[in-house]
Structures are given as structure tokens and as C-alpha cells.
Amino acid sequence: MKDCIFCKIITGQIPAKIIVETDDIIVFLDLKNHPLVVTKKHIANIYGLDDLLGAQVMKQAIRLARACKKGLEADGVSIFQNNEPAAGQEVMHYHLHVKPRWHKDKVMINMPDTAADEAEREDIVSKIMAALAQNHHGF
């Protein structure tokens, strides 16, 4: 899709803080500073996912949840996904949010995120990638 921002990230037309990339999935830090698990194939929402691709998305979500917990020392992790505008989907390309949480943020899904500068964004990505590299199941 030529106007899809995620497709432009996937094809390298727009820079992104990429955390993981496979043949079918790309994970990058969104502008609100948490990882998104995105299908490389342009699929508008969950209704277009097949079982195999859905399993690949969840596999990455599990890995990222563990990495956010460990690498960012999060108190917990929210995983959520919206389908269609009525449910809050803003980009019409399938993606799943993996959002690290801390007790102080009161765990409100729609709470606005604070902006981070470039150095903070780099730090977030490097900590998540370091935790992923450890391939650790423990917390």
C-alpha cells in the first residue's frame, strides 16, 4: 500500500528504530516509545491474518514482553491490538502493541505516553535488544 506508513517503514522509505526483523514480521519502536509487532505483508487488521502468521506475531510478542520486563525493568507489560477505527485502530496495517508498564503509570491502556528524545529512544531499543540477545525466559 503506497500510502501506508508501516509499509514505508518496512521498505526503508521511512527510518525506524528496528528491534527485530524476520521474513514475515518487523518489530520497531513506535513514536510513543513501545515496540510494535507488525506483519510485513500489508494486512489491514486481525481478520486477514492466517493461523501461521498469527502464531509468528504472538511468538514475537512473547519474546518482546520478556525483553521489556527484563531489559527495561518494567513492573508489567500490556499487550493489545485494535481493529478498525471504532476500536481505536489508527494505522490500517496489522500491528500489536507490546507496552512496558510501571506501577506509577496506573496501568491505563489509553494513557498518553511521554515523548522521549532521540538518546532515550536509542537507550530503550538497546536495552530491549540486549535482553532479547540473552534469550532469557526468567525474570
Contact 128, 66 (CB under 8 A): no
Instruction: Residue 22: name the closest of 132, 137, 136, 139 by CA.
Output: 132
**Rounded-to-integer distance, Cα 74 and Cα 59, Å:** 20
Check 34, 42, 93, 95 and give the catalytic one: 95
Dihedral pair phi/psi, residue 95, rounded to 5°: -155, 150
- Which strands form 25-29's sheet, in the order they lie side by side? 17-21, 25-29, 35-39, 95-101, 76-80
Would you call 99 exposed, middle or buried from its count of C-beta atoms within 10 A (0-12, 13-18, 19+)?
A: buried
Amino acid at 22: T
Known catalytic residue: 137? Answer: no
Active site residues: 95
